[in-house]
Every structure is written in structure tokens, then in C-alpha cells.
Structure 1
Amino acid sequence: MTTPASTPAPAPGRTPAPNPAHTATDFDVTADWHVADPYPFLRRLRHEQPVFWSDHLKMWVLTRYDDVRAAYRDHTRFSSVGSLTLSRTLTDEVKETLGEHRSFLDNFAANLDPPRHTAIRRAISRAFTPRAVERLGDDFRTKVDAAIDAVLPAGRADFVADLAHPPSARLAAVFIGVPPEDEQRVKRWVLSWFQLFLSPQPPDRQRELAQDFLKYLDYIDRLVTERRAEPRDDFVSLMAELVPHDLSHREVVETISALLLGGNYTVPNGLSNAVYRLLRDRRDWEALLADPSLIPGMVEETLRVDGASLGSFRTTTTDVTLHGVTIPAGAQVLLHADSAGHDETVFPDPERFDMRRANARDHMVFGYGVHHCVGAALSRLKMKIAFERLTTRLPGLRLPPQRVAYRRSLVGRGLTGLRVEW
């Protein structure tokens, strides 16, 4: 199976100088120079063009912290309806193959406004009580230890493939209710979903990915139907019992599909980005070993500084004027949370990685307002647990010489691989 296109990351300790020739018209989140290090460019945009039109995304972009946060809160003018329908890069042939599923996730909570959003979010929240999150954390700790056990004798591993992804993917599968024998197929289909909708692909590859995506939807659809007939102690059964009185069958299918996507993406990317940053400067890793109480702050700072989430998409319901620029009604808008996380008016010296930064948690990686991610507490707990186990069991973790690469993605910043030794 092919992997998403990638580009080399900047060498440890060296950040490429911003190209003064780049302007807002060059904004392309999949361009080599942008993937390698977008932050000097984004800083210039925040100063010079905080609101601009992107030909690459075919939408408007907000880059300043205050504007992004205000738009997250203002769902009357910045609507979430259709915000996850990102099929604009697909060929006409593939759109025809997908049919109604080209607008997949239309019925997921993050793709809706109140009051329907409120009803679906309330249903999902039943599975994320503090007690349930604590129990999932215990299960995740076991899975992290199992992943470490599997590679420990070798003295080396690909952190992304061997240590970051397996625990999160397995926990998501168990939580949702995916049988163990189906986990690898589901993981492959989830990766196909990301590649199809969220990274540029050639036409032949799009056709292959579209077939995988349709298999994924069919699988989840059958899983929901089975659990309605024979419930178990899992999330699918919890949601399936709400059909048809509280939620529709399709709403349940899309909710489950989206949560599986999150379990295979955000936390693994955050863990890999954090390990890469910590091991590039051994002083940070050594500080963490000496004082584990720094772990929660480190988690927030790495989420802020390393772009685990690009942001969220919205559609304007009326003309909106910001900084002298009018965004017309019906336009799509990127709320650039990654740029907001580097806004120097909120985070002084924003490119400096500071595990003790007092307001690091003010980032918007998990959204803001009514659309704040319902799984944020679990994601934070998983990252905290992972680093507790890594610092305890692999204190000699180090980076061998290598060139790392980030995925080209419309939604977040993640490494394709990271070789580590101990």
C-alpha cells in the first residue's frame, strides 16, 4: 500500500528562513516548503493579510488567534454545516463512484450546527464520562506497554509505525467494538479515507482509495445493524440503541466512522511530533526524565507548537467583514488553528518550545466553543500515559541520523516515520 506524499522536515536545530517572495497567493498546505516549515510564512500573513483568499483551498483563511476563536464561537455566521465535505480534489469519475458518500460525514456532530449538533453530541458524550475515560486510560496503558514489549529486544523501532499508532488504533477498535480479526482491515480503510479526502492523489490512486472507502462504510453499516440485533458492551451498541427514536441509522454510522478516524490520527501524530521535538534537544528529554510532572504541560505545548491540527472549516451564512476584507455569504472559510497557536500576541516567542508555558493549553487543536472535541480529555490522557511509560521504560530513547518527512495533509501535521534507538 502506498503512503501519503511527504516532504523532508527541517534538519534538527535549523529552521529554513522565510521566503520574502511568498505571498498569500502562494498559500498551499501541501507544497514542499510549506509542509517543511510554514510558521515564518504564517507569521507574515498574520501581520500583513490576516484574512485572505486561498486559490489552493478555494476558500478564505483566518490566521489570527482572536479571529479564529471568535469564528469558532459564532456558529450563526460561521456555520459548521457541510464543513467536513472536502471532496474538491476528487476527479469527476471518483465523485460519481462515491455517489452520495462524496459528502460523507454530513450527519456527524462536527458537521452540524445546533440544535441537531447538540442532540448528537449529547449522545456521544454518554461514552466519555470521567469514569469511562479513566477506564479507557487504564486500557491504553496496557496497550502502550504491549507495544514497547514488542520492540524492546530489538533496541530500535520506527516510532510512528511501532509505538505511536498501534496503541491508539487498538484502543479505538476495542472502544468502538471492532472485532480483533478486523482491526488491520479497518486500519487500512481509515488510512485510505485520509488519503482520498485529505491529501492530493493522482486519478488512478483515487480510484483505488475510493473502493477502500466504500468497503469501510459498508463494514460500519453492517456492524451497526448487527449490534442493533445483538448488543454488546461497546460504543456501537450504545449508539445503535438510539436508532430510530433519537438518531438515524446514518447518523450513527457516520459518528462511529468519524471516531475511528480520530483514534487513528490525532494522538499518534501528537506523540510522534512530541518525541521528534524532545529528542532533537536532549535537554528537554532529560528535563522530562528528571521531572515527570512536566508531562501535562509538555503535551499542551507540543500540541500548540507542532500543528497536530490545521484547523476547522466553516461556511459563512452572511457577509462577514474582518480587517477591511469582506467574506461573502456562502463562502467556505478555514479557521487556521495552527497559525493561531503561533500568534505572538497570545503566545510570546511562539516558535520556542517551552514545557512550562503558562497558557499553552489555550491552543485550539481540539476546536473551541460548542464544537470543542468531545474526545479531548481522552486524547490528553492518552498522550500523558504514553510519555509516562516511555520515560519510565525507554529513558535512553534517542534519534539516529535520518531525514524525516511530514505528510501532506489538509487537516494536520504528522510524520510519515521516525527511527528511534535505545
Structure 2
Amino acid sequence: MIEDFDVTSDWHVAAPYDFLRRLRRERPVFRSEHLGAYVLTRYADVRAAYGDPRRFSSEGSLTISRSLTRETREKLGEHGSFLSSFVANVDPPDHTRLRRSVSKAFTPRAVAAMEQQFRRLNEDLLDRLEPRGSADFVGEIGHEPSIKLTARFIGVPEADEAFVQAHVKDWFQLFLSPQPPERQLELADSFLTYLDYVDRLVASRAKDPQDDFTSLMTSLIGAELTHREVVELISTILLGGNDTVPNQLGNTVLRLLREGAWPVPPELVANAAEECMRIDGASLGSFRYAVTDIPLHGVTIPAGALVLLSTDSAAHDESVFPEPERFLIDRPNAAEHLVFGYGIHFCVGAALGRLQLRTALDVLGRRLPGLRLVPGAPVAHRRSIVGRGLTSLAVEW
């Protein structure tokens, strides 16, 4: 019987549901020695914590540097607390100011305009790949359109896309997955190189503004934002487009193929996307810090303690989603999952993420209706504290 989370084990990301079910039933507030955190597992508690920043603070919650060695932290210097001023990592009033600035770039009109761009990027990719009849979905199909869309949105030149993707991957490994000491130092070097790149991009837009997110945010330096805040915003949005959204697409396609639900009828694409986010979310949860002692279900979470809000467990809570392990393409409340968070920290890019998922499923389903898994090919998830993604996925059509 599993007694605790274990980030180094395959089941932690691939199939934690029996363990989470037991926690919801027997220990809804669970002290994890492995994570060094208390874990909230019931939907109602996770949602309530998201909505209560006065007791569950976001301040510093993304800075997972406690898993880094002293030598790595020294190398990173001030950047060991990277994301210290990112919008998801602060409380009001800073959060209110940052969110207001970022939202200027994510208007409904701006997001809708990106749909045609993203559709074209998917069509262009399939024009090249379709004649081959097979591919690694993760490496060759799932990532490229999202990476290119995000690069254009941010203002990253096409020639730099591969550079950014490689360094974002290193950043994810450094901060959000366990690494041995020597590897930490290599990743820290990569991360500092990446930060320097974003810093130079911001400086170039300050001198020569373009029609992109970086220029818009740079124009707010001094009035609404600091230079560091802009660098961190850009860095983190690049993470979402280069990593989180493509991971969700890979998880989604794997689920649909395993369930025999491919291709998805156009009228069900939106709900299918929500059900796949619920059952196989690319985000497993968010960390918070307890501001005061918090009594809950007979346990007192002490002030200052780290708390994981397990959206993965919440999405499988039987009291909200009947038969939670069962994939229901038309589940009426599928969109009530908490993958994008809740309350003031609801993901600012949620509308764009949803649009990308729906558009990709629509294009892929129409162009590759015979898509199927390669028989016998292994399916493996990468190891992570807070993310679910596949390392590869062999498909043919």
C-alpha cells in the first residue's frame, strides 16, 4: 500500500488515483514527508483555499528552490527566488496590479485573433507530416504549433524558437522536478542564459517597440510594472506555451485514443477537451503557504507551512464528478475542474489554452481521422512535482 507521494516513481504522475482516493476518504488533510507539505485533496477544500488568499498565501509559492542544493542556490543568486514577482506568485495588492497589466494582452478580441494563426500553424505542420503516416506525437506534432504561436505572441524571432524551447525545458526541470546536484548546476547555467536572453529581448523592445506582448509590457515599465516583473511575466508565459499547453494536448490525444473516442465529433470537441483536462490534467496543483494556523478536518496546518492544493485529486472527487475515473465525453460538469486554478489566481491564459486545445483537436481530427497508437510502443510520463506530461507517444495513421 502506498503511504506517501513519491516524485521519483512512475505512478506519481501516471496513476496516483487509488492513493488520492484513499486520502480523500481517510486523510483529506495529509502531511506529506516526501513533498515537505500538507496536501488538500477534496474538491471543496481545494477550491476554498484558492479563494482564500488571506489564509493561503501565494507569496513565494512557485519558488520551489527548497529542492535545490546550497551550491545551486549560490550560483542562481537573486534568481534562486525566480518568479518572486510573477503574477501567480504574489498576493494582493501586487497581484491586482500585475493581473490588470497582463490582462491588457488577453482581451477576448486578441485571443480570438490568435485562433486563425494557431489553426494555420497546425495545418502547415500536417501538410509536412501527413504523407509520412507515423510520428512521435509529443516530439513532432504536439509542441510545434503552440511554441510558434507563443513565440509570435511574445515577440520571439523564429530563429530563436528552438533556443527558447530547450531552455524552458531546462527551467522546468530545475525548479519543478527533482534533480541530482551535478545536473542542478548544469540546469542553473542554462536558466541564467535564458534569463539573460529574455532580459535582452525586453531591452530591445524598449528601444524599438513592435506589435507584440513584450512591447506592450515594456511600455508599462515605470508606470505599472518593474523591469524584473516584465522579464518574469514573459519567461513564465513562454513556459505555458512551450510546455503546459502541449503537455495537455498529448495527455488529451492519448486519452481519446485509448477510449476509442477519436476523432471527436465537432459538436463535442469543447466538452471533450474539458473532460480530458479533468481526468488527465497537465497541472497537478499549486502550492500555498499557510498564513495562520488553519484547523481543517481535525488537523491543524501550522502557520508558515507549505500546502499543496491538489487539483488532480479535486478533479477525481466522487462528490463532484460521479464515477471520476470514467471518461465521459459529454460529462455535464466537466468544465468545473480546477486545472486553471480558481478565484483571483484563475490562470490569465486559460482562454488561450482552451482555444489551442479545441483548435488542435478540430484540425487533427479532420486531417488524421485514422490516428491510432502504435501497438506495443511504451507510454511513459516524465517525473514532476506539479506537472503531467508524456516523454513520447508513437502514433500512426
User: Which residues of structure 1 form unaligned runs of 5+?
Assistant: 1-20
In structure 1, the residue matched to 2:357 is 383
1:54 offset after TM fit, Å? 1.1
Letter in 2 for 1:39: Y
- 1:194 pairs, out of 172, 176, 187, with 172
In structure 1, the residue matched to 2:38 is 60
Task: Give the fraction of aligned pairs with identical amino acids, expressed as a percent.
Answer: 62
Say what the alpha-carbon RMSD is for the aligned residues: 1.0
In structure 1, the residue matched to 2:289 is 315
Matches within 5 A, 1:324-403: 324-401=298-375, 402-403=377-378
- 2:112 pairs, out of 134, 154, 164, with 134
Q: Is 1:421 the counterpart of 2:396 in the alignment? A: yes
Does structure 2 conserve the Cα–Cα contact (< 8 Å) formed by 1:406 and 1:415?
yes
Deviations, residues 327-346 of structure 1 (Å, cap 9, x unaligned): 01111100000000000000
What is the rounded CA distance, in whole Å, between the counterparts of 1:313 and 1:30 in structure 2? Answer: 19
In structure 1, the residue matched to 2:58 is 80
1:204 offset after TM fit, Å? 1.8
In structure 2, the residue matched to 1:219 is 197
Matched position secondary structure for 1:285: coil
Matches within 5 A, 1:264-275: 264-275=242-253
What is the rounded CA distance, in whole Å, between the counterparts of 2:79 and 2:247 in structure 1? Answer: 26
User: Which residues of structure 2 form unaligned runs of 5+?
Assistant: none
1:243 offset after TM fit, Å? 0.8
1:73 offset after TM fit, Å? 0.3
Does structure 2 conserve the Cα–Cα contact (< 8 Å) formed by 1:301 and 1:361?
yes
Q: How many residues were matched structurally? A: 396
TM-score by length of 2: 0.98
In structure 2, the residue matched to 1:285 is 262
Matched position secondary structure for 1:228: helix
- 1:412 pairs, out of 376, 383, 387, with 387
Letter in 1 for 2:286: S
What is the rounded CA distance, in whole Å, between the counterparts of 2:37 and 2:259 in structure 1? Answer: 38
Does structure 2 conserve the Cα–Cα contact (< 8 Å) formed by 1:168 and 1:268?
yes
Letter in 2 for 1:22: I
1:111 offset after TM fit, Å? 0.5
1:150 offset after TM fit, Å? 2.1
In structure 1, the residue matched to 2:206 is 228
In structure 2, the residue matched to 1:296 is 270
1:52 offset after TM fit, Å? 1.3
What is the rounded CA distance, in whole Å, between the counterparts of 1:91 and 1:150 in structure 2? Answer: 44
What is the rounded CA distance, in whole Å, between the counterparts of 2:15 and 2:183 in structure 1? Answer: 27
Does structure 2 conserve the Cα–Cα contact (< 8 Å) formed by 1:145 and 1:389?
yes
Matched position secondary structure for 2:292: coil
What is the rounded CA distance, in whole Å, between the counterparts of 1:55 and 1:264 in structure 2? Answer: 31
1:272 offset after TM fit, Å? 0.7
- 1:112 pairs, out of 90, 97, 100, with 90
What is the rounded CA distance, in whole Å, between the counterparts of 1:343 and 1:250 in structure 2? Answer: 39
TM-score by length of 1: 0.92
1:281 offset after TM fit, Å? 2.7
Letter in 1 for 2:173: Q
